[in-house]
Amino acid sequence: MYTLFLLLISFLIAVIIMPLFIWISKRYGFVDYPNFRRVNKKPIPHLGGAAILITFITVLLISRPIEVEYKPLIIGGIIICLIGIIDDKFDLKPTIKFVGQLITIAIPISYGIVIDSITPFGIEIEFGIFSIPITVLWMVAIINAINIIDGLDGLATGVSIIALASIGFITILQDNIFVMMICVIMIGACSGFLVYNFHPAKIFLGDNGAMMLGYIISVVSLMGFKNITLISLFFPIIILAVPFIDMMFAMLRRYRNNVSMVKADRNHIHHRLQNMGYTHLESVVLIYFIAVLYSAGSIILYLSTVPGAVIITILLILTTMIIVESTNLLGDNKKPILNFFKRIVHKIIS
């Protein structure tokens, strides 16, 4: 019942304060203007992340957590949200934004939230001096993965809700009530925001929201899987497979085309779906569905034995390749997996 209360109160606070942030955004010029890679046809307020963060902090403090780990969530969340607000207003250079991310990531690391070891097949492997670089790489990847996929109304928010729900469910199985509570509060805050962010959106996350969500999810994932095994190390990656796939293949595509890694384009998975004829809403719902499938796969993987884990992993890799080929994320129109299945189907029916 208490969990349901936290979910409901965070949802209601977000719903109530969102119109205020829409007004503040318009009043002080925090709006997203249409351009060549934007889908909005008119200026849209983009202080949604700040509203989500205020809701999250308020309800988190109401819950009166005992664990000290809530402090880096609040401190780091505020810092990265402020960096995002400045970026949304003045369009910071990627290098400056990256430095800001590193400063923020230093906060949970200072509280001891790091990937310091893994235990594959019962054998503990200590990372030693490499634990901090691995943690930094991990968190930077998640922060930017969420930021990259924030291209359609409700997309990044919905994917984040699905990811948080998956992490929360696994932490229930681990009896990690503190992390589960954090996930529930964030789900409520994001759901309240989604009321205004779903197509047609009245307010956007902005970089302040996308980076903040990525930061919270990255920290929560580390807190939720402290006793990391070789398999559990990949749970957040599987749960966030859609933004990770989009980010990795965007980087590979830009490298092959000799284009800057930070250069914006209209070749992300949501753009590809729209090019294939899907509407704005259909593209978002389809990506939600794919995200749910990956999240379900991560939960099944968690509950599986080693042989089952191998089977699930193979299926997830195969699914990933089908998605990449179907949407032509690499931009080379090569479809070996799809052509292979096409030949099999042709032989069966002929």
- Structure confidence at residue 176 as a pLDDT band (50, 70, 90): confident
pLDDT in tens, 302-318: 787 777 777 887 888 88
Q: Would you state the pLDDT for residue 198?
A: 92
Q: Is the peptide bond before 200 cis (omega within 30 degrees of 0)?
A: yes
Say how many residues make up the chain. Answer: 350
Task: Look at residues 153, 161, 154, 138 and name the one whose alpha carbon lies nearest to residue 292.
Answer: 161
pLDDT digits (tens, 9 = 90+) for 77-88: 999 999 999 999
Share of the chain above pLDDT 90, in %: 42
Arithmetic mean of pLDDT over the chain: 85
Domain span at residue 155 reads 2-349
pTM for the complete prediction?
0.89
Domains contained in the chain, number: 1
CB–CB of 71/111 below 8 Å? yes
Torsion of CA 59, 208, 49, 5, to 10 degrees: -30
Do 229 and 312 meet the contact criterion of CB atoms below 8 Å apart?
no
- Write the pLDDT tens digit of every residue in 87-146: 999 888 999 999 999 999 999 999 988 887 666 555 667 778 888 998 999 899 999 989
What's the confidence (pLDDT) of residue 264? 64
Identify the CA nearest to 110 among candidates 79, 80, 83, 75: 75
pLDDT category at 330 given cuts 50, 70, 90 is low
CA angle 84, 241, 117 (to 5 degrees): 85
pLDDT band for position 331 (cuts 50, 70, 90)? low
Q: Could you report the per-residue pLDDT of 138-170, keeping only the tens digit for each?
A: 899 999 989 988 888 999 999 999 999 998 998
pLDDT of 35 above 90: no
Which comes out higher in pLDDT, residue 326 or 215?
215
Alpha helices in the chain (DSSP H): 2-27, 48-62, 70-90, 94-110, 131-149, 155-173, 177-197, 206-224, 235-239, 241-256, 269-275, 280-303, 306-327, 336-349
Is residue 125 within a helix (H) or strand (E), and if so which, with residue range? strand 125-126
- Predicted confidence at residue 121, as pLDDT, reads 52
Determine contact, residues 335/257, Cβ cutoff 8 Å. Answer: no
- How far apart (Å, rounded) are the C-alpha atoms in residues 266 and 190? 26
